[in-house]
A = this chain, B = another copy of it.
Amino acid sequence: MAKRPETHDLNAILKAASDPTRRDILTLLAQEGPLKVGDIHARFDISLNAVSKHIKVLERAGLVRRRCEWREHLIDVQLVPLAEVDRWFRDLRSIWEMRLDALDRVITEGKRDDRTDDAS
């Protein structure tokens, strides 16, 4: 009954995006295209294993895709799931606006009531 099976978990996405190193990895991939794990490692001051783990986190969040050609793993950025974040933002704002609208309506009706009261 899930809306879209491929929809990635907002929580995983935000958690993945909340680490600066991982954001840097995404940026690197965006500007250089698919890279091997080792190539990514070459750009950072952390161990290869740390990079590997970050990539796994990004992968679980759907922000990155892996194409294995035996021992070479090509990692590619995948921006689609970030739309989920955008959606959350939009939903929040819409909830906020709905409240303001309701408030506005109450005020307006209040004024009409006042007028009605005056007329009666």
Q: Is A77 interfacial (CB 8 A cutoff)? A: yes
Report the Cα distance A95→B31, complex, angstroms. 6
Total interface residues on A, using CB and 8 Å? 27
Cβ of A32: which chain B residues have Cβ within 8 Å of it? 99
Q: Would B79 and A33 count as touching, CB distance under 8 A?
A: no
Number of copies: 2
Least Cβ–Cβ distance between A39 and chain B, in angstroms: 15
Q: Would B99 and A30 count as touching, CB distance under 8 A?
A: yes
List 26 contacting pairs A-B, 8 Å CB cutoff, sorted by A: A14-B14, A14-B17, A14-B18, A17-B18, A18-B18, A23-B88, A26-B92, A30-B92, A30-B93, A30-B95, A30-B96, A30-B99, A31-B95, A31-B96, A31-B98, A31-B99, A32-B99, A33-B99, A33-B103, A79-B89, A79-B92, A79-B93, A82-B89, A85-B85, A85-B89, A86-B86
